[in-house]
Every structure is written in C-alpha cells, then in structure tokens.
Amino acid sequence: MATTATAASLFQASAGWLAAAAEKLRAAGIEVLAPIEREQGRVDLAPLEGRNGLAANYLNTVLPLKRLSFPETEVILNYDKRENKDVALDVPSAPAGERVVLGCRPCDASALAALDQVFEWDYDDVRYRQHRERTTVVAFACTEPDGHCFCTSVGGSPQGEAGSDVLAYPTKDGGALLKPLTEKGAQLMERLEGVVQPAPEGAKLPAPPLVKPKFDPDKVKPWLDEHFEDAFWTEATLACVGCGACSYLCPTCHCFDIVDEAVWNRGERRRNWDCCSFSLFTLHASGHNPRASQAARYRQRVMHKFKYFPERFGRLACVGCGRCVRTCGVGQSLVAVLADIEARNGTGG
C-alpha cells in the first residue's frame, strides 16, 4: 500500500544522483561503497569510482553487508616476542575514516540489527563497534525480488527499515525518494544538499513488490522446542556436503575462529569467519565431537537461527535474503526445511 509521507521526512533525487552523491561524499573525504558489477552477474559492495561498473538491476550482492563490520579475516592483535622474553602487544584500531554504503538491500541492513545485539551483548566488541560507528547505511528498497527471497516470512519486507540509516526508493526515472531513519541518516541528507532536495508535500512512496510468505517461524519454533532428537534431521540433510557456503554468504551468521599467524617471534592474531557446518567446528582436543554427524551440524544451524537466537535476543537470526538457498550446490533449502517443520508442527509429527 502506498503511504504518504510529510515533506520534512522525505527527500528526492533525480537521475544520476548516485554518482553525484558519491562524488560529493568523496570530495569530503568519505569512502563510498556501492554495488559494483565486477563480472557479469557478480555484484560486490566496492569503492565507487566514477560510474563504471555500477550495477543497475541487481538482486543482491554476492557477499553480505556484514563483511564491512565483520570481515572474512581481520587482524585483531599484533605481537612481538622480544629477546628479554617480554611480549609487545599492539591492538590495531579499525580505520578511523567515515564511510557510506550506497545501495545494500534492506534484508542485509536488517541483519546488522541482529549482529549489533550479539557483538554488543556481554562483551563490547570494539572492532565491530568501530566499523559500525564509522558507517552510514543507505539501503535501496527492492523492486524485483526473486523466487528465493523470503524476507516476509521472517518479519522483514522488501522495503524494511531496520538497520538502515536511510532507505532509498528507486523511482522509474532513475531518481529516488530517500527516507532518513536515524540521526546519521538525517546528517547524510544535509551533507548531500544539492544532490537531494526535500520531497514535495504528498510525495508517494511506491508499494512494495510481493514476496510471498513461505513459512511461519512462530509455528516452527514449537516443533524445534520438542525435537532436538528426531530422525527428521538426518532425512532432511542427507544431501548436505558440509561446506560453509550458506554460512559465509549469510548476512546474520557470525561465528568466528581466532588464529595466530607468526613468522619467528612476530605475528598477528586474526579473526576469521567460521561455520557450524564444518566437522572441525566442535571437534574437541580429546577427539570427541559433540556434533559428529552432518545432521547434528545442520540442526545447529536451524536451531541457532530459529530457536536459540530468538530465545536470547528476541528476534530471528535470519533475514530471508535467500542466499543460502541460491548458492547451495546440492539443492539443500532452508526454506523447504522450515516449511516441512511447520507442517510437522501442525500434525504433531
């Protein structure tokens, strides 16, 4: 349904605004990341230089937005063991410069809201917070979701506002309507004066495209609560070969491993993405593995997103971007598994 916004809360920009906005921000020393088509069909969030490679009609980026605050690998500590056996430690700060993401999708932005809860929970994850604080997120509302998108099944929307500082609605003429959602977003609109103008009174936001709901998470959880041990897990996950593609492409998966990489006495400690699908993930030094089968590992993935995370943080750890389903080489579908569970819940099976 189209909604009418007040002039003060809505801005508009005309065709070519993205390049102009990027130019203006860069001139102010701000890093700009936008969806760039590196190869056919492969869109990444990357520094925007000129208009070259700017993706037009992209579904989503290959890698999720999380990597800007929680990169696939990042140095968290440098160490140097001196001759007197002292160890010099250096905790590198995240880069200080501001940056603006122009054009992630609302699902990816809403995942940040989930990640914020984890990384600012019992321990203040300094690096994550530094990255988040220096980033302004402008999400582009979706106009052409595909058949794998399921944001509406997990409380999201192709025009979802969670996690974004500004939500931009592309208009047919190549321009956009922009809705600032946070203080940061309002500041960005000020900075972009000349590129964006207050929208006229009565400007209408477009209606969201249809994303058909595929399951109801409230009907999934009761079954999860009762069926930690169930033959279903084995049956539903036989095809899974245990790679990490679904987790690594997931905007909300956030498990990590910590490794030391050293040359002689000096080295760096890194935080790397890790994944509960890997057999090594829970392997104990004793040789015992509490999640010995792929079924147990897949169960963990589903339980974490649809039971444990909601119990701890009051929201799902899934935003319905559909990347896990699209990327899986053996047709393993989280959506199908959840729909199956919902059906079982209904029948008490």
Partner 1 sequence: MDSTINGALQQAAAQLLTEGKVGLVIGYGRANGGPSAAPAFVRRAEDAERLLFDATCFANLAVYLAKKDVRDLLRGAASQAVGVVVKGCDLRAVNVLLREHVVERSGVVLIGVRCPGVGEPLLSKCTACDVHEPQGCDVVVGEAVPQAQAEKADRYPLVAPIEEMPLDKRWAYWEEQLGSCIRCYACRQACPLCYCRRCIVEKSSPQWVETSAHLRGNLAWNAARALHLTGRCVGCGECERVCPMHLPLSALNQKMAKLVEERYGFRSGLSAEETAPFSAFAAEDTEEGIL
Q: How far does CA 24 lie from the centroid of its chain?
A: 27
Between residues 50 and 331, which has the closer beta carbon with respect to partner 1?
Answer: 331
Q: Which two tokens stand for residue 283?
A: 């392997």
**Contact between 329 and partner 1 (CB under 8 A)?**
yes
Closest separation in Å from C-beta 228 to partner 1? 18
Judged by CB under 8 A, the residue of 58, 119, 248, 309 near partner 1 is 248
Burial (CB < 10 A; 0-12, 13-18, 19+), residue 14, is middle
Judged by CB under 8 A, the residue of 155, 198, 209, 244 near partner 1 is 244
Separation between Cα atoms, residue 15 and residue 238, nearest integer Å: 49
Q: How many CB atoms lie within 10 A of CB 348?
A: 7
Secondary structure of residue 183 in the 3-state scheme: helix
Judged by CB under 8 A, the residue of 20, 94, 186, 336 near partner 1 is 336
DSSP state of 125: -
Separation between Cα atoms, residue 313 and residue 157, nearest integer Å: 20
Secondary structure of residue 265 in the 3-state scheme: coil
Window 37 to 96, contacts with partner 1 (CB under 8 A): 39, 42, 62-63, 72-73
Task: Compute the CA torsion angle 276, 280, 285, 287 (nearest 10 deg).
Answer: 110
**Contact between 17 and partner 1 (CB under 8 A)?**
no
Q: Kindly write out the interface string for residues 116-155 of this chain, putting x where it contacts partner 1 by CB under 8 A and - elsewhere.
A: ----------------------------------------
Q: Which two tokens stand for residue 7?
A: 């002039």
Between residues 305 and 323, which has the closer beta carbon with respect to partner 1?
Answer: 323
Between residues 159 and 294, which has the closer beta carbon with respect to partner 1?
Answer: 294
**Contact between 233 and partner 1 (CB under 8 A)?**
no
**Contact between 36 and partner 1 (CB under 8 A)?**
no
Residue whose token pair is 């960005």: 188
Q: Pick the piece of the chain touching partner 1 (CB under 8 A) from 82-90, 174-182, 184-192, 274-282.
A: 274-282
Closest separation in Å from C-beta 260 to partner 1? 8
Contact between residue 325 and residue 334 where contact means Cβ atoms under 8 Å apart: yes
Residues constituting the chain? 349
Separation between Cα atoms, residue 203 and residue 85, nearest integer Å: 68
**Contact between 265 and partner 1 (CB under 8 A)?**
no
Name the residues that contact partner 1, by CB under 8 A. 39, 42, 62-63, 72-73, 234, 238-239, 241-245, 247-249, 257, 259, 261, 270, 272-273, 275, 278, 280, 293-295, 325, 327, 329-333, 335-336
